[in-house]
Structure 1
């Protein structure tokens, strides 16, 4: 008995030593860099942003509602607001409404592509009374510019153009070619905008060295237990898949219901799917996030991150408790549409439901459908796949000079900032560039943005001006090794 206890104690001691050793040697991946001075942005930068927000460049699911003339008026405004940009770069129009601007560099080689999109989502009529300002007024209230598109994505589009106009006024010539790619239909899948822009790159056999689009941001609140400011940079994004469920059986009068109706069958399938989510996993991108954030956390959290081989079940359980955390570690499923019935006393013979899934980079459509069929286990429920689907496999290489340059620029942008790669759970236009280069990053230099696709979308004037500074230095110091 004593021998057994001694062995258990010895093994426990060894385990504790391993855990402590891994924690102590879990070294920071952050870069020390001198802070750069914030630039004096051009006079009128806020007024130009306000004006940009007044253009109703709205994308609708029903493309016949889209006002192409409004986009063209927006183009004319940009040309007048940024005369040097449109004079000294080559303008290529893609499908008439998307803009691609080539800024010629000193050297040949892979270019940088800076992305943003012109279009915005509609504003629901019922929410107008809750807005502090007209969503297309660009009004300034308490240091914020309000308007649809302020953060998604005209804020970054205008900040990019402001920085380029400033550099051109200084007669600056970049080392590599720089392309500004501004799609017009990101909010409705980007088929005619970003996808067509990438097709242009393919036709010209141009392989970007680096792509930077919207996505991650600077945050003081969104990384649990981290006491420092973080800059989360998307290095990959989840896929998009819509699955439709349908059942069809004999209906009838509500006074004589059968044992199972179409609604019963489909409701049972929905319950089973909800109760059997896709398995969680600490995938490669999430592990990279922990590698960069973990060493900066308090000791207990750092210990868990440093010893994932031991604490993985606990970490996955913690992640599963929040929507954002859960979406990072598994393919998610959300029921977005349910249709059945036309009359209160008539049992319908058909029922339809739609599931929107956001898939992990290593997922396949075959595996997803297999999981759903196994869970539902009912041949009366037919499963079909919707037309809109993506399955991006691109994951940026963190050892490449492009990420190291982005990290060093951010380290100069904010003191003691923690730069961390992460998995984008939404879709961006940049996924199309993932077909031709792995070095695609998703980040905007603004802090804890509010109102995305919602009420009172706004950006702080201070944040906007600092964002211009970020793009200014990012472009000015750009040199790929």
Structure 2
């Protein structure tokens, strides 16, 4: 694994470039493209996504003038910018939609109205600043500027902007189906995922550019118990909610078995030279000490715990419809993130075994398996990403990792051999906690570096003509 530095990236990003990205991001945030419910778009939702498209067309006229633009799914956009050759095309991705905000957003703790797109004190504030309009804007900002300078891609370039990533990514699925029907086999795909994380690893002072080379699977699993109903004045010895509660305690008391995937071993061994003391020694020998690390890492926090095992989060509960009525059915939803190397079937088997109660039905509502692992090390696509990080964040350590969340990238993996997940934005611990929460924000300076990342990636040798 190489850690590249580049002198061109050591200077602060151009102020005008960063401010332009900030202004455009603020405009995009003000268009509240909350993920629409399943089914056909309502007139209001259609108008909202049309408004965002109009804003993007005005801000990035070079891109929309050169590209062939198609609507995929309900409101996704698939843009093709023709290159000198069509072989080994590149797909760059982001998504337009954002998660909702409570009506009483002040009570949730927001300092600025979530959809006002406030620029203050060097930051852009608002829902989507990080997930994922910030990454969308820096991508288009770089591409638009390059096209204005007369640059054209050496190979076909596709830009896929999903519209429902926060709800299973139907527009991305439609785009992949369309590309597959046309025989398009992407050589490199880059979507959101990791970031330039600050304070993400114990003992590491440098920022860590975590690039997802795979992502966990996801399964929505329902636990349900049925029982006789009746009046609450004569409760049974065991009720449906009581039986379900015992099952939930069992789930949380018996974590999934841990294992250290080779991709995680590569991450730890890459980080090790930048640490000191016992942690450096342990991680430099991650392969031989994998059993020790599997026991140690969960004690250092939930992020590290999630790296070594399938996780199960209890998210939704349902019981009686009234306070004085016995529940005839009690239901809990468990959100499982399936470790790479495991499977949805193994997750169901584990839950069934630890619950050990035939009265609790375990059923899969929806699921997707873990994504294939994309190449790292000396592969030229991986090296292109590492080099672009070096140009834009020269102080960062670039490492591969297994992405813990789900992205639209998982849908593209079936037609592409190299799919990566990385948003070139700096995020500290508070910012990472604000994703899907209050006070989501991104630094203007980081937006400038994000633009520099995409410029470096698009103009680098690896994305040149395939004959090189």
TM-score of the alignment, normalized to the shorter chain, above 0.5: yes
Task: Give the SS at the match of 2:387.
Answer: helix
Answer yes or no: is 1:325 the counterpart of 2:304: yes
Answer yes or no: is 1:402 the counterpart of 2:375: no
Q: 1:472 to 1:255 in 2, by over 3 A?
A: same
Per-residue CA deviation, residues 170-225 of structure 1 (Å, 9 max, x unaligned), is 1012222211111111111111x111111111011111111111111112211111
How far the C-alpha of 1:62 sits from its partner, in A, is 5.3
How far the C-alpha of 1:29 sits from its partner, in A, is 3.7
Q: Give the 5 Å matches for 1:299-314.
A: 299-308=277-286, 311-314=289-292
Equivalent pair of 1:362/1:393 in contact (CA under 8 Å): no
Per-residue CA deviation, residues 229-274 of structure 1 (Å, 9 max, x unaligned), is 2111111111110111112233445454433222222122112222
Answer yes or no: is 1:122 the counterpart of 2:95: no
Q: Which whole-Å CA distance do the structure 1 matches of 2:28 and 2:242 have between them?
A: 50
> 1:163: which partner in 2?
142
> 1:13: which partner in 2?
none
> 1:88: which partner in 2?
66
Q: 1:250 to 1:49 in 2, by over 3 A?
A: closer
Equivalent pair of 2:195/2:210 in contact (CA under 8 Å): yes
How far the C-alpha of 1:348 sits from its partner, in A, is 2.9
Q: Which whole-Å CA distance do the structure 2 matches of 1:30 and 1:81 have between them?
A: 35
Equivalent pair of 2:224/2:332 in contact (CA under 8 Å): yes
How far the C-alpha of 1:30 sits from its partner, in A, is 2.0
**5+ unaligned residues in a row in structure 2: which ranges?**
none
How far the C-alpha of 1:46 sits from its partner, in A, is 2.9
Q: Which whole-Å CA distance do the structure 2 matches of 1:213 and 1:428 have between them?
A: 8
Q: 1:34 to 1:376 in 2, by over 3 A?
A: same
Equivalent pair of 1:176/1:479 in contact (CA under 8 Å): no
Q: Which whole-Å CA distance do the structure 2 matches of 1:308 and 1:84 have between them?
A: 48
Per-residue CA deviation, residues 44-64 of structure 1 (Å, 9 max, x unaligned), is 443222211111211144556
Answer yes or no: is 1:30 the counterpart of 2:10: no
Q: Which moved more, 1:82-91 or 1:409-418?
A: 409-418
> 1:376: which partner in 2?
355
Q: 1:341 to 1:97 in 2, by over 3 A?
A: closer
Q: 1:100 to 1:465 in 2, by over 3 A?
A: same
The structure 1 residue matched to 2:313, chosen from 334, 339, 348, is 334
The structure 1 residue matched to 2:254, chosen from 276, 280, 298, is 276
How far the C-alpha of 1:478 sits from its partner, in A, is 4.7
Per-residue CA deviation, residues 69-109 of structure 1 (Å, 9 max, x unaligned), is 11112112211221111111221222352111111222332
How far the C-alpha of 1:329 sits from its partner, in A, is 0.7
TM-score (norm 2): 0.91
Equivalent pair of 2:391/2:452 in contact (CA under 8 Å): no
> 2:455: which partner in 1?
472
Answer yes or no: is 1:452 the counterpart of 2:428: no
Q: Give the 5 Å matches for 1:79-228.
A: 79-95=57-73, 97-129=75-107, 130-191=109-170, 193-228=171-206
> 2:210: which partner in 1?
232
How far the C-alpha of 1:345 sits from its partner, in A, is 4.5
How far the C-alpha of 1:227 sits from its partner, in A, is 2.1
> 2:53: which partner in 1?
75
> 1:15: which partner in 2?
none
The structure 2 residue matched to 1:54, chosen from 11, 14, 30, is 30
The structure 2 residue matched to 1:463, chosen from 428, 441, 446, is 446
Across the aligned residues of Structure 1 and Structure 2, the Cα RMSD in angstroms comes to 2.1
How far the C-alpha of 1:317 sits from its partner, in A, is 2.5
Equivalent pair of 1:41/1:468 in contact (CA under 8 Å): no
Aligned length: 452
TM-score (norm 1): 0.88
How far the C-alpha of 1:435 sits from its partner, in A, is 0.8
Answer yes or no: is 1:244 the counterpart of 2:222: yes
> 2:331: which partner in 1?
352
Q: Which whole-Å CA distance do the structure 2 matches of 1:47 and 1:29 have between them?
A: 35
How far the C-alpha of 1:306 sits from its partner, in A, is 2.7
> 2:276: which partner in 1?
298
Equivalent pair of 2:29/2:116 in contact (CA under 8 Å): yes
How far the C-alpha of 1:111 sits from its partner, in A, is 1.2
Higher gyration radius (CA): 1
Equivalent pair of 1:335/1:353 in contact (CA under 8 Å): yes
> 1:423: which partner in 2?
402
Task: Give the SS at the match of 1:111.
Answer: strand
Task: Give the SS at the match of 1:224.
Answer: coil
Equivalent pair of 1:57/1:118 in contact (CA under 8 Å): yes
Q: Which moved more, 1:300-309 or 1:74-83?
A: 300-309
Q: 1:309 to 1:233 in 2, by over 3 A?
A: closer
Q: Which whole-Å CA distance do the structure 1 matches of 2:243 and 2:341 have between them?
A: 31
**5+ unaligned residues in a row in structure 1: which ranges?**
1-27
Q: 1:254 to 1:133 in 2, by over 3 A?
A: closer
How far the C-alpha of 1:309 sits from its partner, in A, is 5.4
